[in-house]
Structure 1
Amino acid sequence: MRQLIILLFIGLAITVSSCREDFVFEPSTGDLAFSRDTVYLDTVFTNIGSSTYTLKVYNKSSKDIKIPTIQLGKGLNSKYRMTVDGMIGENNRIFRDVELLAKDSMFIFIEVTSDVADANPTDFLYTDQIQFDSGANLQQVELVTLIQDAYFIFPNRENGIYDTIPIGFDEDNNVVETRGRNLSNNHPDNGDEFNFNTDKPYVVYGYASVPNGETLTIPGGARVHFHAESGIVVQAGATLKVEGGISSTAALENEVIFEGDRLEPGFSDVPGQWGTIYLRQGSTNHSIKNLTIKNAIIGLLVENNFGTTMTIENTQIYNSSNVGLLARAAKIEGKNMVINNAGEASLACTLGGNYEFKHCTFNNNWPSSRQVAVLLNNYFELENGSTEVFPLNQADFKNCIIYGSNNFELNIDKDDTQTFNFNFSKCLVKFGTSTLQLYAFIYADENNIRRNRNPKFLDVQKNKLNIGDDSAAKGFGININVPNDILGNPRSGVFDLGAYNSIVFPSN
């Protein structure tokens, strides 16, 4: 028995000794390998945190090593911060005696929050390095970020409570509010917020509200970025004017662009990043020219615009998680509009109204069996089971394309107890086979409606809805006094459907 106990102690000692030898870490000799030699963090706005970027560090040797220091070159003063294999070190900037097993690797996650004043004044780049060890064993990975200055619009906060603005009423007729603030004629940082500038972009947190009696004017070349759950609300008695122009270069120098505040390429086409542009009931005299709206929940929400006609020209709305243009009992005249991809409908004209669309392209390739390109509706079902019905006095589509990935891309949702007037003239419509009399007009005259003919867009996934020389939309239209296409090219002699004149696509 005594001999057995002695043997157990000897075995335990050998095991412990063996484990210790397995984890003897030698000093690093400067032979680390990296997944990249420079980490480029995409453009960020001043004082707005970046996304998280990854660097992988490899120990390709057969020895367990200990790295004496991993730190940012600017030390605790750096605007970058990082974690090393889940460790936070000294204020996420300095790490000591970091162990790395033989033939193993570790992850470093990097972020940055910097002011434009910290960047190089000539190129607005903010740089630093991740330094591994020092002296003869020093290895470095460069960090580079472009810092962009901006005008910031955000709600004030007092005692932890943010300003709010009205956005509607609940079922009990109580005012519903959301986080935001009214724009100002003389803001201490932004100046006149009712007349946007073009020298730097705008970044909106919460909802920017245009109060009664005011007009928000956004000139050509303006760029407006919205944070999550943000947007613009134009209140009753207020007006929105977007005054973009035709651009001559790929920089879209005269276009107005509304999009999210995530500038990384991976977010360039991600739907639902921000809220909406909401033109409330009673707002009036709106006009929009040469505007692109990207990646909203609802691109443009228009309610009963006080009897005036809202004009929308040369405007594109892309990748809306709900609806591209949602109109409720509104009055809209649209020319050269392109709306592509939305979770429910690219264009939804609901609760009646008055609409005329000329040379517009409505497409929806959202991956759903229920999405449509165009929805027309004249009623609303209340929670108590009753129905409110509204007159659809006019819904005219002329020289338009209505297409998408489903068999039926046009949904006419009609209550027969109220006026429902619609007309499709010289249109291409994606619509399968139906015996419903409501859709008989689609089958009635091939010279007026081209059904299920492919417009052959250039690249739907990249929102390039140009049509080619072999498109079914080529030459099918008539002259309806829209002299130029969305790019400013003249229409003469041959009138193509949709917003674009047909072109010969470049060969691959």
Structure 2
Amino acid sequence: WIRNGTLGIRCDSVADGEPHNLLVRNSRITDFSRAAIYSGFGRIRLENTVVANSGLYNLYTLGGRVEADHCTFANSFPGPRATPSIGLFNRYDDGTGTFRYRALLQADLRNCIVDGSQESEVGFGYGPQAAFNFRFEGSLLKLNRFPDPALYDVNDPARFEGCVFNVNPQFEASSTFDYRLKLGSPALGIGWPNATNAIPIDALGQSRPSPADAGALETL
């Protein structure tokens, strides 16, 4: 359990084609005043991981690659917060008002839960000057379905497939970090087989059925 600080994990650049320079598995990363996971052009993989309660981002990705399978991102940070739980970016302001670009080559989140106290908990910042590739599959997402401007289309199967939007995941007790799902949760059984086949055991050692629940923890 990684918890209580300013920044949980910072992962910096790695050349494309190199192995992951961060693998997080069966873990909890919670309670950071800025970001739980910050990736600047890194290559990261998250499995069976709960990330919760950050003042800015649970997961901030600027370029590079990120894969998350069966993860729970839940942000109920107790202080003021104006940023989403997950931020996906291919650009940043260099401090002079000029954008610099870094290709987001891959951002694949499969069988995940993204929830929190904001109206939309997934944020995008990108321009056409660099690649911006992302996809959500078999996930429960708190997300503005009708963005203006139209940065994405939730009906585009290349970006969103088998996802459920803007419903309460019904955690057992998020205030005590129990992110198991209650019976009747809309995240039950929505997982797609690709991620489940890759990670057939949940964070507590329980076998996943098919179809599996979204998130890090299978319902008992």
Same fold (TM over 0.5): yes
Kept in 2: contact 1:344–1:371 (CA 8 A): yes
Following superposition, the deviation at residue 371 of structure 1 comes to 3.1
For 1:100-499, list aligned pairs within 5 A: 292-305=1-14, 307-309=18-20, 310-350=22-62, 352-366=63-77, 367-436=79-148, 437-441=150-154, 443=155, 448-479=162-193, 480=195, 481-499=198-216
Q: Is the 8 A contact 2:137 2:161 kept in 1?
A: no
Name the stretch that deviates more: 377-386 or 292-301. 377-386
Check whether the contact 2:56–2:81 (CA below 8 A) recurs between aligned residues. no
Give percent identity, aligned residues only: 27
SS in 1 for 2:26: strand
Whether contact under 8 Å (2:137, 2:192) holds in the other structure is: no
Higher helix share: 1
- AA in 2 matched with 1:364: N
CA distance in structure 2 between the aligned counterparts of 1:447 and 1:424, rounded to whole angstroms? 6
Which is higher, the Rg of structure 1 or of structure 2? Answer: 1
Q: Which moved more, 1:365-374 or 1:333-342?
A: 365-374
Q: Residues 379 and 432 from structure 1, CA distance in 2 versus in 1: closer, same or farther, beyond 3 angstroms?
A: closer
Counterpart contact for 1:476–1:496, Cα < 8 Å: yes
Aligned residue number for residue 115 of structure 1: none
Higher relative contact order (Cα pairs below 8 Å, separated by 6+ residues): 2
Partners of 1:491 and 1:501 within 8 A in 2: yes
TM-score, normalized by length of structure 2? 0.89
- Inter-partner Cα distance in structure 2 for 1:384 and 1:407: 30
Shift of 1:488: 0.9
Aligned letter for 2:169? P
Amino acid at match of 1:472: P
Over 3 Å counting, the alpha-carbon distance change for 1:422 and 1:447 in structure 2 is closer
Unaligned segments of structure 2, at least 5 residues: none
Separation in 2, partners of 1:482, 1:435 = 33
Give the Å deviation of 1:432: 3.5
* 1:348 match: secondary structure: strand
Structure 1 CA distance, aligned partners of 2:202 and 2:36?
21
- The amino acid across from 1:438 in the alignment is L
Q: Any conservation in 1 of the 2:136–2:161 contact (CA below 8 Å)?
A: no
Check whether the contact 1:318–1:463 (CA below 8 A) recurs between aligned residues.
no
Preserved CA contact (<8 Å) 1:342 1:371: no
Structure 1: distance between partners of 2:65 and 2:145: 28
Mapped partners of 1:411, 1:346: distance in 2: 11
Q: Which runs of no fewer than 5 residues in structure 1 stay unpaired?
A: 1-291, 504-508
Between the aligned partners of 2:45 and 2:156, the Cα distance in structure 1 is 26
SS in 2 for 1:384: coil
Q: Is the 8 A contact 1:341 1:365 kept in 2?
A: yes
Task: Spell out, residue by residue over 1:431-487, the C-alpha distance to the aligned partner (whole angstroms, 9 max, x if none).
Answer: 23524322312x557961100011111122222211112111100012222110001
* CA deviation profile, 1:164-200 (whole Å, cap 9, x unmatched): xxxxxxxxxxxxxxxxxxxxxxxxxxxxxxxxxxxxx
Q: Quick one: distance in 2 between partners of 1:406 and 1:428?
A: 15
Deviating 4+ runs (over 6 angstroms): none
- How many Å apart are 1:494 and its aligned residue? 3.1
Give 1:501 shift.
0.1
Q: Secondary structure at the match of 2:74?
A: strand
Equivalent position SS for 1:495: coil
